[in-house]
């Protein structure tokens, strides 16, 4: 008996894989954090490409570049302001400190890995695959909320409040931009720029 498995169902099932990979990335990282994160993101990227029978839009435009650069920069400024307001709190200061403790390799290598595969891979999987398929089934608003919630929850095992807030706010922003533009280019550019600013160019600590 042949059982047809829809892209939506495969997307939902793949969230278990994403959760397991993120546990390995943040709690085990057998090859070191950045190599493990890169490999895990590549796996999710390949899953998204294999199941997305109809490829999402990846056509670059000047409008996409502007939206991506503007949203990435604004996100960084929002988190910088938030860090200045909350750094007196042990929960937030220790959480941010633990994130920056992961910078155990040269900044140049971190930057290269953020450009590819980490930034593009995360967006192609979480927005171009998960959000897209859930939006097709549940509607755009429910798809956005579901994808953002899943993106946040995979960070839950870290028990790092700033990291989970970053995932939630970043995921909500990138999901909204993807919903409004219908293109992955703006969110890829935004995600990569945000990560580069946070980890390489002007880190908080």
**At 4, is the secondary structure helix, strand, or coil?**
coil
Whether 182 is covered by a domain: the verdict is yes
| Whether the predicted pLDDT of 39 surpasses 60 | yes
| Whether the predicted pLDDT of 163 surpasses 90 | yes
Domain assignment of residue 107, given as a range: 18-52+62-201
| Mean per-residue pLDDT, 8-23 | 96
Whether 11 is covered by a domain: the verdict is no
What does the pLDDT look like over 76-127, one tens digit per residue? 999 999 999 999 999 999 999 999 999 999 999 999 999 999 999 999 999 9
What does the pLDDT look like over 50-68, one tens digit per residue? 988 666 556 678 999 999 9
| Whether the predicted pLDDT of 1 surpasses 70 | no
| CA dist., res. 159 & res. 95, Å (int) | 9
Instruction: Output the pLDDT for position 58.
Output: 60
Whether 76 is covered by a domain: the verdict is yes
**pTM of the entire structure?**
0.95
Whether 9 is covered by a domain: the verdict is no
Give the chain's domain count. 1
Whether 12 is covered by a domain: the verdict is no
Per-chain mean pLDDT for the chain = 94
**Helix axes 140-153 and 7-23, enclosed angle (nearest 10):** 20
Whether 8 is covered by a domain: the verdict is no
Whether 6 is covered by a domain: the verdict is no
Instruction: Output the pLDDT for position 6.
Output: 86
Whether 152 is covered by a domain: the verdict is yes
Instruction: Output the pLDDT for position 54.
Output: 61
């Amino acid at each position: 008996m042949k059982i047809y498995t829809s892209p939506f169902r495969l997307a939902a099932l793949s969230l278990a894989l994403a959760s397991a990979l993120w546990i390995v990335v943040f709690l085990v990282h057998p090859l070191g954090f950045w190599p493990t994160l890169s490999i895990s993101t590549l796996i999710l990227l390949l899953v998204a490409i294999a199941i997305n029978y109809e490829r999402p839009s990846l056509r670059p435009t000047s409008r996409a570049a502007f939206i991506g650069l503007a949203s990435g920069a604004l996100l960084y400024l929002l988190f910088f302001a938030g860090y200045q307001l909350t750094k007196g709190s042990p929960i937030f200061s220790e959480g941010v400190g633990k994130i920056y403790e992961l910078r155990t390799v040269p900044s140049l290598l971190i930057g290269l890995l953020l450009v590819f595969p980490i930034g593009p891979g995360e967006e192609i999987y979480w927005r171009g695959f998960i959000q897209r398929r859930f939006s097709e089934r549940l509607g755009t608003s429910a798809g956005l909320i579901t994808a953002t919630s899943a993106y946040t929850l995979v960070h839950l095992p870290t028990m790092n409040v700033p990291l989970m807030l970053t995932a939630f706010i970043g995921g909500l922003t990138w999901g909204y931009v993807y919903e409004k533009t219908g293109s992955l280019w703006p969110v890829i550019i935004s995600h990569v720029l945000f990560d580069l600013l946070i980890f390489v160019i002007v880190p908080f600590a």
